[in-house]
Amino acid sequence: MEQGPPPPPPAEPAIGHRTSRSARATRARRALPATGAAAALLLLGSLTASCSDGDGGGNTARERRVCLTGKLTYTHRDAEAGPELPKATSVARNANWELWGRPQGERRVRELNAGLTDAGNGGFRACAKQPDQVTDVYVKFRSSSTDLWRVINPKSRAQYTFDTRHTARADSTVALGTVRVPADRASAWKIVDSLNELYWKASEANTSGSACWTRRQKNGHCDELTVTWGPKATDGGYFDQGGTNHIVLTAEDADSRHTVLHEAGHWLQWQLYGRSLPDSPHCEEHTFELASSPGCAWTEAFADAAAAYALGDRRYVYGNGESVELRADSATDWDQGDDVQGRVGGALLDLWAADGPDGGDWNRTIDLMSREVSEDFYDYFTEDRPRAGLDTTGPALDIVHDHTIDY
């Protein structure tokens, strides 16, 4: 069952790497076939929407179903590869598809089935539910994944879509081969694909059985993460907290998976904290190396660390390919203390590291954050970690000290 949008919270400053121009928008939502526990199984494992097409097992021609098969890819500028922004082609994982066509004996084209591209290789096998001959059959792709996240155009507020070539008549399987997202909207599918990485990490930490982003919501009542992006968008780089509650990206922001997941990290923390974020004064022009405020450093560092953790490195990568390393180096010329974004982000990554004191992952921190609202890193480390059974002495305290945070 689909839920309506939650009531908007009181207006608060947007969170992100730029200041915001808040614009209120409706949250149009579309029911898709895989929700709740089914969505978790589909999104977390390799999937292909399957059907029996009568190629084996003694099926007759009457039993054969129409299937369109292929692999969805997108070509994009790759900021993670450096300032040269080389072009790369990637598969679009867990992207929504719909099969459309005109069944035998019917006058109109209609939706025949829906599903997701494969979670590993971007493949799809879109099959009609009934074993009929179908004319004018094609696959429509949408810039969304189940009803857990979507990318919309900032002007139309609609998802991006495109269709495969139309097949005039089909009565069995038609192989479409590699289907490429049109270049003018490829970044929308890059965003959809990139968000898998954060969702998978959040799901590993969510032991409640809910397929939602956090344990705070139950299956069938998940909040949907919405990203606005346009090929000519110049306003972006922030989470519009208290306005649309959307992630707002510029055209270039989508070139960096770290930037996409940083902003999604703000939304995730907002979800973990029950649709709220701590106060973050002096955050308008925050940087990695300069002191701001404990609240600003905490929220920005969590987003930095969430993106790096999901992508398996220690960087923040800008849309232009420039990057910052979140090092554990007390000798660096950064400001010192828990009001410095880079210091806090590096400490979090070391606490969650494979050889770190938290068991090799962030799972216990995410569980803690779904139960306790930490106002800053000091509150998280000295008050909330002990309540969650996480270490604050020995190696954990050494990590904090290594990042020039003196507790």
Phi, psi of 73 (to 5 degrees): -130, 165
- Residue 287 CB contacts under 8 Å (≥ 6 apart), including other chains: 341
Residue 48: per-residue pLDDT: 38
**Residue 170 phi/psi, 5° resolution?**
-145, 140
pLDDT band at 252 (very low <50, low <70, confident <90, very high): very high
- The amino acid occupying position 87 is K
Instruction: State the pLDDT at residue 132.
Output: 84
- 244 alpha carbon, distance to own chain's centre: 17
Signed CA dihedral, 361, 196, 193, 346: sign only: negative
More confident residue, 29 or 103: 103
The pLDDT value given to residue 331: 67
Return the residue matching tokens 């701590």.
Answer: 278
pLDDT tens column, 337-362: 999 999 999 999 999 999 999 999 99
Note the pLDDT tens digit of each residue in 17-42: 433 322 222 222 223 334 443 444 44
Which of 188, 181, 98, 180 has the alpha carbon at shortest distance from 143? 188
**What is the Cα–Cα distance from 81 to 322, expressed in whole angstroms?**
10
Residue-level pLDDT at 64: 80
Whether residue 6 is predicted with pLDDT greater than 50 in this model: the reply is no
Helix (H) or strand (E) run with residue 152 in it: strand 149-152
Residues counted in the chain: 407
Q: Which of 57-71, 82-96, 221-235, 305-319 has the lowest mean pLDDT?
A: 57-71
Indicate whether 189 pLDDT > 50.
Answer: yes
Percent of the chain with pLDDT over 90: 80
Question: Given this model, what pLDDT does residue 99 score?
Answer: 98
Topology of domain 47-183 in CATH is Immunoglobulin-like (2.60.40)
Residue type, 205: A
158-185 residue pLDDT tens:
999 999 999 999 999 999 999 999 999 9
CA distance linking residue 349 with residue 288, whole number of Å: 15
Q: Which residues contact 38 (CB under 8 A, 6 or more apart)?
A: 211
Distance, first Cα to last Cα, the chain: 47
CA 190/CA 79 separation, integer angstroms: 12
Task: Report residue 317: phi and psi, to 5°.
Answer: -115, 125
Task: Say which range, 34-43, 246-255, 284-293, has the weakest mean pLDDT.
Answer: 34-43
User: Band of the pLDDT at 327, cuts 50, 70, 90?
Assistant: confident
pLDDT score of 63 = 60
Q: Where are the beta strands (DSSP E) in 187-295?
A: 225-228, 238-239, 247-248
Listed residue (353, 324, 355) closest to 341, CA to CA: 324
Q: Which tops the pLDDT comparison, 38 or 256?
A: 256
Beta bridge partners of 96: 116
As a whole number of angstroms, the distance between CA 117 and CA 146 comes to 11
* pLDDT of the residue at 330: 75
pLDDT band at 43 (very low <50, low <70, confident <90, very high): low
Give the pLDDT score at 19. 30
H/E element, 99: strand 96-103
The answer to whether 189 and 256 have CB atoms below 8 angstroms apart is no
What pLDDT does 130 receive?
Answer: 86
Contact (Cβ atoms closer than 8 angstroms) between residue 261 and residue 299 = no
The lowest-confidence range among 49-58, 76-85, 148-157 is: 49-58
Instruction: Name which of 230, 193, 227, 223 is nearest 95 in CA terms.
Output: 193
Predicted confidence (pLDDT) at residue 65 exceeds the cutoff of 50: yes
Lowest mean pLDDT among 18-27, 194-203, 324-333: 18-27
Structure tokens at 62: 């009457």
SS3 400: helix
Report helix, strand or coil for 83: coil
Q: What pLDDT is attached to residue 329?
A: 73
What average pLDDT does the structure give for the chain? 87
Q: Which two tokens stand for residue 48?
A: 């292909």
Residue 405 pLDDT more than 90?
A: yes
Q: How many CB atoms lie within 10 A of CB 253?
A: 27
Domain spans of the chain?
A: 47-183, 187-402
Least confident of 25-34, 246-255, 302-311, 351-360: 25-34
State the pLDDT confidence band at 332, using cuts at 50, 70 and 90. confident
Structure-block tokens of residue 406: 């003196």
Average pLDDT over residues 65-69: 95
Q: Are 257 and 193 in contact (CB under 8 A)?
A: no
Q: Where are the beta strands (DSSP E) in 236-313?
A: 238-239, 247-248
